[in-house]
Amino acid sequence: MRDGEFAIIERHFKGITQQSGVLKGIGDDAAVIKPDAGLDLVVSTDSLLEGVHFPDGTRPMDLGRRAMCVNLSDMAAMGAKPRWFTVALSVPRDIAVEKWFAELSDGLSYIANQIDCALVGGDTTCGPLAITITVIGQVPSGTALRRDTAEVGDHIYVTGTLGDGAAALDMFSIGNTNSFCERLFEHFYAPRLRIESGLRLREIASSCIDISDGLVADLHHVCSSSGVAAEIDCSLIPIHAHTRRNYPDHSLHWALSGGDDYQLCFTVPERATESLKKMIFEGHIDATRIGLITAGDGVTVIDSSKANTFTQEITDYSGYDHFA
């Protein structure tokens, strides 16, 4: 016997997270939350559709983990502390059983409870498998990181390594267990949260964006919003040794345009670079300098090492676009 919608919510979603700052959570027509005094609210929504944002047959716990991490990446890019979230689910009738909902709930709560982010509501319906999460965060008033504030002369940095998201998708498409890599699997379903990095970057970064559609495409958004251009050196782009070794013909292109990396790309004015270097040296942030903000428009890719062959046109590195 299947649970009804309200039984599913009561059993598998109510009470799965701490309820800090929640005056009224799941169980009423809407949630009532209490922001801290003097803070701005930051709101972000992402939808994930089966076969588009995650492979067919993804385990529900992995879906829950990925959905949370993808949405939290936007909070990191804004320098916000995530506080609350809602979940809207569309689930096919043939998988809408208690075990499936229990495992999805486990995945959501596993990530949310690491950062004390409270589930406060949502919706469930029967249909094609999709999940939409809205996250609400907080920042001290006027301190949110933005895309439109990069300036000529700023240095460009990225966190972590790039190209792993596309490498994971390639691994899934091959479907060969001999090529399975636990590191890539975990990166795809639970990319490392950069929340703490975002909080620290509020002090020094002039702009920031998360890398979801591809480095060049997302950096182009920063340039377009800020009225500047960017020059990045592909010989400086951090690529994991495993990805470079196992995908020698693709790793650089994936790092430039593959997407699904969920790292941060940010700019830092010259006056703040020493502070950033100190953070990196002390292990507070994992970041690599890859280029410079310049006058003009668009993104130019160069190779100071002369070791790589590629096309500089941005259309070749345009990243993922749902409607292209």
Of the candidates 293, 5, 308, the residue with the CA atom closest to the CA atom of residue 149: 293
pLDDT tens across the length of the chain (324 residues): 455 666 666 655 666 676 777 887 777 788 888 889 999 999 999 999 999 899 999 999 999 999 999 999 999 999 999 999 999 999 999 998 989 999 999 999 999 999 999 999 888 999 999 999 999 999 999 999 999 999 999 999 999 999 999 999 999 886 655 567 899 999 999 999 999 999 999 999 999 999 999 999 999 999 999 999 999 999 999 999 999 999 999 999 999 999 999 999 999 999 999 999 999 999 999 999 999 999 999 999 998 776 554 444 444 555 555 545
Q: What are phi and psi of 201, to 5 degrees?
A: -70, -20
42 and 144 in contact (C-beta within 8 Å)?
A: yes
Q: Give the class (CATH, top level) of 5-140.
A: alpha beta
* Residue 241: CB atoms within 10 Å: 9
H or E stretch at 209 = strand 207-211
Superfamily of domain 155-317 in the CATH hierarchy = PurM-like C-terminal domain (3.90.650.10)
* Residue 106: CB atoms within 10 Å: 15
Question: Where are the chain's structural domains?
Answer: 5-140, 155-317
**Cα 99 to Cα 21, 62, 88, 105, 184, distances in angstroms:** 30, 14, 18, 10, 26
Q: Quote the tokens at residue 258.
A: 């593959």
- 3-state DSSP call for residue 303? coil
